[in-house]
């Protein structure tokens, strides 16, 4: 490297971003030739490594030491793009946590490449955060990589089918470096999702009983193509990993930076798997996995002809065009209507409420319709001006995620159910001063008030339903019978019955006065997420992870009909105040409005980037609110009704 060449900024067409020093080292080792640095803007805080891989001139930059996540990644990409204006596309290359499943036999050291899906560009942001320096308005919407990269994926896959993989050949660039040696990584052990790390720096104390038996595999490194989930915190819980993956329709890998890049920088995300995103996570495989990812990135570049790169638009042009297209399509999507019945009211989106920093589990209107409350995984309850769509107040105090919110029918109290078995009753007359109710031994999934506001019912992960007197804040009855978590509770309009939906797949009816079990409704094929009585008390609707909504005859307590149509878990159901509509919100990122009498879909509300967890009608039915896993609340309204 005695006399390195010096090129001009405009000669560089590929941007390579990594997050960790070990990833930077692997990237630098992939260069066939390193170039002399070129002078750049004094305000640019990036340090660039310039060089050549095959025929491509490549700029490499790493996030500042100790910084992780979408914001630093976006900052690095934006500066890089400003300094090297001829960059056509980017590669985000580094390590990630794998999601092994029946479908994908992911091993440590394997590589995952983001591949677009019908619903997204290959990367899904599964939480909300400050994603780009431009603000949060595009959160959840992540661009699809440009055609040149999609073509490259196709060619790479073809090469691998033909066993012309060059990954290990490129990996051999690292062979002289002990840090990247496979021999030092230790064994590749996958533990069952339910088995947590016993403690210590490695899994020496973890039981062999917890290990998933897997057959050994011939290939050292397999490249997988699919969805990468990007979030602002480290995923280190196997149950949550699997749950989130399921919600998002199956993901292969968790990481923290891609969400910051996708909307600023047309790019492909390439992740070497260094752990299984569970509690057993350690750093032993990090360097090796950084190496396989870097070698894979080099292989991707090897299938892209430089002539094609020269012809393709610059990164900036692509982003500008994608933003233009998105603003058009988003407007259309939000207003699109399926199977519209002419004589029926239609709901249109009129506001998106930003503020929660994490998933919104629950939404509820106050009885006068003026307030909307939302409960979030960020541990807060927020109050919004429903008519104006403005933030009013944040109620803090819970130390766990808030799963459920409900106003008392007299408007005096707001209840919130949270982790740690805690319920808070917020007093409207005392500027929402809370009273804390504790009795459940596990998180409270659902809270609801009786029609006379005198009782509060709560359903918990501990499998019980409790009835509380709201005046004294004490437990009156504990209803036991479900063999799994209680996900949802609802009072009948006359207050005499309580229905509960459970993780055991059943709905139970209870006599409120007696505190006794009346009948168990079976039929759902998976856990019941939500129950709701129609305003006339004649129907009970239930929604389930089996992707259906069921109607039950509340008096006969028998099954009436199953509504199919959602392609994901149906998280929540709510009747309109006149009982004519049922709204259902789903993991398929839609809310459906069903005609209660005809039991057919009237309208599908679209435009969601994430699963929709909760839906509620305003007291006169003019408005509909929904809470979604992107941390936002959407408000819809109708001119009629």
Task: Retrieve residue 7's tokens.
Answer: 């090129």
- Residue among 203 and 405 whose Cβ is closer to Zn ion: 203
536-572 burial: b if 16+ Cβ within 10 Å, else e: ebbbbbbbbbbbbbbbbebeebebeeebebbebbbbb
Task: Say if strands 253-255 and 228-230 run parallel, antiparallel, or are unpaired.
Answer: parallel
Contact indicator for 358, 616 with CB cutoff of 8 Å? no
Least distance CB 202 / Zn ion (angstroms): 7
Distance of alpha carbon 500 from alpha carbon 493, whole angstroms:
15
Complete DSSP assignment for 3-59: T-----GGG--EEEEESSHHHHHHHHHT-SEEPPP----TT----EEEEEETTEEEE
Distance of alpha carbon 56 from alpha carbon 409, whole angstroms:
66
Residues within window 457-486 making contact with Zn ion, judged by CB under 5 A: none
Least distance CB 94 / Zn ion (angstroms): 23
Beta strands in 470-512 (DSSP E): 474-479, 486-491, 497-502, 507-511
Distance of alpha carbon 494 from alpha carbon 290, whole angstroms:
62
Segment interacting with Zn ion, rule: CB under 5 A, options 116-124, 275-283, 309-317, 614-622: 275-283
- Residue among 211 and 560 whose Cβ is closer to Zn ion: 211
Contact indicator for 282, 274 with CB cutoff of 8 Å? no
Least distance CB 105 / Zn ion (angstroms): 21
Residues within window 206-225 making contact with Zn ion, judged by CB under 5 A: 206
- Residue among 276 and 636 whose Cβ is closer to Zn ion: 276
Radius of gyration of the chain (CA): 27
- Residue among 34 and 279 whose Cβ is closer to Zn ion: 279
Segment interacting with Zn ion, rule: CB under 5 A, options 4-12, 174-182, 273-281, 449-457: 273-281
- Residue among 280 and 466 whose Cβ is closer to Zn ion: 280
Least distance CB 190 / Zn ion (angstroms): 11
Least distance CB 192 / Zn ion (angstroms): 11
Conformational region of residue 127, where left means phi above 0, alpha means psi within -120 to 50, and beta covers everything else: beta
- Residue among 201 and 471 whose Cβ is closer to Zn ion: 201
Least distance CB 189 / Zn ion (angstroms): 8
Angle formed by the axes of helices 147-161 and 286-302, nearest 10° = 100
Spatial strand order of the sheet with 348-353 comes to 348-353, 633-637, 623-628, 612-617
- Residue among 195 and 335 whose Cβ is closer to Zn ion: 195
Segment interacting with Zn ion, rule: CB under 5 A, options 43-51, 272-280, 543-551, 632-640: 272-280
Segment interacting with Zn ion, rule: CB under 5 A, options 279-287, 354-362, 441-449, 614-622: 279-287
- Residue among 195 and 326 whose Cβ is closer to Zn ion: 195
| Long-range interactions of 301-305: CB distance < 8 A, separation 24+ | 301/14, 301/53, 301/54, 301/56, 301/58, 301/91, 302/53, 302/54, 302/166, 303/152, 303/155, 303/156, 303/159, 304/56, 304/148, 304/149, 304/151, 304/152, 305/55
Distance of alpha carbon 480 from alpha carbon 491, whole angstroms:
17
Q: Which residues contact 424 (CB under 8 A, 6 or more apart)?
A: 397, 398, 415, 416, 418, 434, 435, 436, 437
- Residue among 273 and 540 whose Cβ is closer to Zn ion: 273
- Residue among 205 and 215 whose Cβ is closer to Zn ion: 205
Least distance CB 203 / Zn ion (angstroms): 3
Three-class secondary structure of residue 627 per DSSP: strand
Distance of alpha carbon 505 from alpha carbon 548, whole angstroms:
12
Task: Retrieve residue 458's tokens.
Answer: 């709560």
| Residue from 120, 280, 345, 424 binding Zn ion (CB under 5 A) | 280
Segment interacting with Zn ion, rule: CB under 5 A, options 49-57, 123-131, 278-286, 353-361: 278-286
- Residue among 178 and 200 whose Cβ is closer to Zn ion: 200
Residue length of the chain? 641
Least distance CB 213 / Zn ion (angstroms): 16
Least distance CB 254 / Zn ion (angstroms): 18
Distance of alpha carbon 158 from alpha carbon 160, whole angstroms:
5
Least distance CB 186 / Zn ion (angstroms): 12
- Total interface residues for Zn ion by CB under 5 A: 4
Least distance CB 544 / Zn ion (angstroms): 34
Distance of alpha carbon 102 from alpha carbon 115, whole angstroms:
19
Q: Mask: binding to Zn ion, 147-186, rule CB under 5 A, as x and -?
A: ----------------------------------------
Residue 277, interface with Zn ion (CB under 5 A)?
A: no
CA atoms within 13 A on the CB side of 30: 35
Least distance CB 9 / Zn ion (angstroms): 47
Contact indicator for 615, 488 with CB cutoff of 8 Å? no
Contact indicator for 371, 351 with CB cutoff of 8 Å? no
Report which of 212, 253, 207, 210 is spatially closest to residue 234, judged by C-alpha positions. Answer: 253
- Residue among 280 and 345 whose Cβ is closer to Zn ion: 280
- Residue among 278 and 588 whose Cβ is closer to Zn ion: 278
Least distance CB 96 / Zn ion (angstroms): 19
DSSP 419: G
Least distance CB 52 / Zn ion (angstroms): 42
Least distance CB 198 / Zn ion (angstroms): 6
Least distance CB 461 / Zn ion (angstroms): 25
- Residue among 135 and 186 whose Cβ is closer to Zn ion: 186
- Residue among 280 and 580 whose Cβ is closer to Zn ion: 280
Residues within window 188-207 making contact with Zn ion, judged by CB under 5 A: 197, 203, 206
- Residue among 280 and 634 whose Cβ is closer to Zn ion: 280
DSSP 132: B
Contact indicator for 481, 499 with CB cutoff of 8 Å? no
Task: Say if strands 539-544 and 507-511 run parallel, antiparallel, or are unpaired.
Answer: unpaired
Catalog residues that contact Zn ion under the rule CB under 5 A: 197, 203, 206, 280
């Amino acid at each position: 490297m005695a006399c390195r060449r010096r090129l001009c900024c405009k000669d560089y067409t590929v941007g390579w971003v990594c997050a960790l020093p070990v990833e930077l080292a692997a990237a630098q080792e992939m260069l066939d030739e390193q170039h002399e640095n070129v002078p750049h803007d004094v305000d640019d805080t990036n340090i660039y490594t310039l060089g050549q891989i095959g025929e491509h001139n490549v700029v490499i930059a790493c996030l500042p030491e100790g910084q992780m996540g979408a914001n630093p990644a976006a900052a690095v990409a934006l500066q890089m793009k400003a300094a090297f204006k001829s960059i056509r596309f980017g590669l985000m290359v580094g390590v990630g946590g794998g999601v092994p499943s029946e479908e994908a036999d992911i091993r440590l050291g394997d590589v995952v490449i983001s591949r677009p899906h019908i619903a997204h560009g290959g990367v899904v942001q599964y939480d909300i955060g400050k994603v780009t320096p431009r603000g949060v308005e595009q959160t959840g919407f992540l661009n699809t990589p440009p055609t040149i990269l999609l073509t490259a994926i196709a060619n790479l896959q073809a090469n691998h089918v033909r066993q012309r993989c060059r990954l290990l050949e490129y990996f051999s660039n690292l062979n002289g470096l002990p840090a990247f040696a496979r021999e030092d990584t230790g064994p590749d052990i996958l533990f069952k999702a339910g088995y947590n790390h016993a403690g210590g720096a490695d899994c020496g104390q973890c039981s062999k009983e917890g290990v998933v038996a897997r057959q050994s595999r011939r290939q050292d490194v397999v490249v997988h193509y699919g969805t990468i989930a990007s979030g602002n915190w480290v995923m280190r819980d196997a149950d949550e990993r699997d749950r989130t993956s399921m919600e998002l329709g199956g993901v292969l890998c968790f990481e923290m930076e891609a969400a910051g890049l996708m909307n600023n920088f047309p790019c492909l995300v390439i992740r070497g798997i260094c752990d299984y995103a569970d509690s057993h996570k350690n750093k032993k495989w990090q360097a090796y996995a950084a190496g396989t990812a870097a070698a894979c990135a080099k292989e991707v570049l090897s299938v892209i002809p430089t002539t094609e790169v020269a012809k393709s638009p610059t990164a900036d042009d692509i982003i500008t065009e994608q933003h233009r297209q998105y603003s058009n399509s988003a407007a259309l999507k939000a207003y699109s209507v399926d199977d519209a019945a002419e004589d029926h009211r239609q709901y249109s989106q009129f506001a998106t409420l930003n503020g929660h920093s994490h998933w919104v589990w629950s939404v509820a209107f106050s009885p006068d319709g003026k307030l909307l409350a939302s409960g979030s995984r960020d541990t807060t309850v927020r109050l919004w001006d429903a008519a104006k769509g403005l933030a009013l107040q944040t109620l803090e105090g819970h130390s766990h995620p808030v799963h459920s919110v409900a106003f008392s029918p007299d408007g005096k109290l707001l209840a919130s159910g949270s982790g740690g078995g805690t319920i808070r009753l917020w007093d409207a007359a005392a500027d929402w001063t809370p009273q804390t109710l504790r009795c459940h031994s596990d998180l409270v999934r659902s809270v609801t008030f009786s029609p006379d506001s005198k009782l509060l019912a709560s359903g918990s992960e501990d499998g019980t339903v409790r009835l509380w007197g709201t005046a004294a804040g004490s437990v009156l009855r504990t209803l036991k019978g479900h063999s799994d978590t209680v996900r949802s509770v609802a009072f009948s309009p006359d207050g005499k019955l309580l229905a509960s939906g459970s993780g055991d797949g059943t709905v139970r009816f209870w006599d409120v006065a007696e505190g006794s079990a009346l009948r168990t409704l079976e039929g759902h094929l998976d856990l019941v997420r939500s129950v709701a009585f129609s305003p006339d008390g004649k129907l009970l609707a239930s929604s389930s992870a089996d992707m259906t909504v069921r109607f039950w005859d509340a008096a006969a307590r028998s099954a009436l009909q199953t509504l199919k149509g959602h392609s994901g878990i149906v998280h929540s159901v709510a009747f309109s105040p006149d009982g004519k509509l049922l709204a259902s919100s789903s993991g398929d990122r839609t809310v459906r409005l069903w005609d209660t009498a005809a039991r057919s879909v009237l309208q599908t509300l679209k435009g969601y980037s994430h699963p929709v967890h909760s839906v509620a009608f305003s007291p006169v039915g003019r408005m509909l609110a929904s809470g979604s896993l992107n941390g936002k609340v959407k408000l819809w309204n109708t001119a009629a009704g």
